[in-house]
Structure 1
């Protein structure tokens, strides 16, 4: 535990989660895009993003949690990685460099634990956060875009695919085969590891042509969020992705689809998204800090 200028820094424990939720909600209430999240949804986020309370750094003032870094642990491109699943500071405690001080407190433990890099996303336009992360040593890796549209506004033509396509729900997804369908890696919360960890209801649908899988969609029916959507390169532009989405919509429990953190270097997906009228609502920068 460390104390600096009336702030105490320590790592959190499991019993701190209720207070962490309250601080999270208050810290993000006036965010660039205000975040409204229930306790149940917060618990899902913690599981899905691999957050480990003992690696979450907290800033306390008068015994109250006033700032935090949620830390998820796992591998990123085969390298032991700490993912920032959220940094927040209560409005009345901003201006004290708490984010920078929280990282100064956190990084030694990450290094001692064999973590080799830190990963995060920052919203484009959040200049203050971007400046802080750059000063800590983070660099931009890629630009990610987020999309959302009511299903009634999507253009998913009724034209039948060139080949007979069978859609089936799979209990044991073949993630190794699916990797060959993808041109770029998904963001942290959309990886197969995060998808499988999530306690939220989830479904994987495969598209098959002559009994051979040629595409898939992994999504969360409760929220309409698409974690992964891909079609094998030789089978693109044949209506298969649209067929998968139409089937996902049938099983969704909400009237909109959500697609978060799409890599903008993936022009194939970006063009497809534009063509079906999914609306862009947010841009983020993925940033990385090497601890080597």
Structure 2
């Protein structure tokens, strides 16, 4: 068994390994183009991603993204999997251990991932490797037909507009929590043409926003200035994004569990969390 970088490995090889590793899971498997879009959004870096090869076949892998997170050079686990025939051999652990010196020598200071809370074995593995839980997230998922726009009345001076670029500095002041890696402004800027950005304005002043990836059904961010809350603005933004969705399902991933304002908004649509994740970090 050889552990090596995925730099130079054909995208079709990566896709086939991904499909084999995740076959039989509840979540639908993306097609090749959708996988490439997801990896690009998450900052996939083949040179700092690694796999286990048996007889030239990629049998286990970790796709890593790289970038800054909280202004710290970070590697992000954007997908780890092992094909069924090679599970229970400790390959994911071996890949992490053998890739760690490469990441450190490249100046990476921390390793970031999210893991489903119910995946007890994976959580225990990451803890044994030195990962610590930083935050807890909920995720929301439903068929698009089940989450419908609801009636809302807002001040006549409130208007919704589509804009081409997010004003990250302003939008950040509206947030109750820092977006996760895959929902960050950096992620949006990696694939800007994939997103629709909507602002809510009051007499020309931006007081809220939402970011949607319409062809995946992903509601990436939504927030309203604190002093303008409880005026139906969040509902209006979510309504608009639901109407612009072009996918068969709709989802919001990595909502901080302590964010009561968002939970209240989701409750108004009768949208309950589908599960929870831990955000974990290992200092390198």
TM-score between both structures, scaled by the size of structure 1: 0.92
Helix, strand or coil for the counterpart of 2:274?
strand
Distance 1:125 1:167 in 2: 39
The residue aligned with 1:93 is: 86
Instruction: Give the C-alpha shift of residue 17 in structure 1.
Output: 2.2
Number of aligned residue pairs:
284
The residue aligned with 1:262 is: 255
Corresponding residue to 2:6 among 1, 4, 12: 12
**Residues 168-247 of structure 1 correspond to what in structure 2 (within 5 A)?**
168-198=161-191, 201-247=194-240
Helix, strand or coil for the counterpart of 1:15?
coil
Corresponding residue to 1:68 among 58, 61, 64: 61
Would the aligned equivalents of 1:44 and 1:200 in 2 still touch at CA under 8 Å?
A: no
The residue aligned with 1:4 is: none
Would the aligned equivalents of 1:225 and 1:259 in 2 still touch at CA under 8 Å?
A: yes
Corresponding residue to 1:121 among 114, 117, 120: 114
Instruction: Give the C-alpha shift of residue 249 in structure 1.
Output: 2.3
Per-residue CA deviations over 1:240-284 (Å, capped at 9, x if unaligned) read: 011112222222213543111111121111222122212321211
Would the aligned equivalents of 1:200 and 1:220 in 2 still touch at CA under 8 Å?
A: no
Helix, strand or coil for the counterpart of 1:169?
strand
TM-score between both structures, scaled by the size of structure 2: 0.95
The residue aligned with 1:22 is: 16
Structure 2 runs not aligned, ≥5 long: none
User: Measured at CA, do residues 26 and 174 of structure 1 come closer, stay the same or move farther in structure 2, by a change above 3 Å?
Assistant: same
User: Measured at CA, do residues 155 and 202 of structure 1 come closer, stay the same or move farther in structure 2, by a change above 3 Å?
Assistant: closer
The farther-off stretch of 162-171 and 70-79 is: 162-171
Distance 2:164 2:256 in 1: 28
Per-residue CA deviations over 1:55-81 (Å, capped at 9, x if unaligned) read: 111101111100011110011111110
Over the aligned positions, Cα root-mean-square deviation in angstroms equals: 1.6
Distance 2:13 2:249 in 1: 32
Per-residue CA deviations over 1:127-160 (Å, capped at 9, x if unaligned) read: 2211211111111111111112345544754231
The farther-off stretch of 208-217 and 34-43 is: 34-43
The farther-off stretch of 128-137 and 275-284 is: 275-284
Would the aligned equivalents of 1:149 and 1:279 in 2 still touch at CA under 8 Å?
A: no
The residue aligned with 1:275 is: 268
Instruction: Give the C-alpha shift of residue 163 in structure 1.
Output: 5.1
Structure 1 runs not aligned, ≥5 long: 1-6
The residue aligned with 1:3 is: none
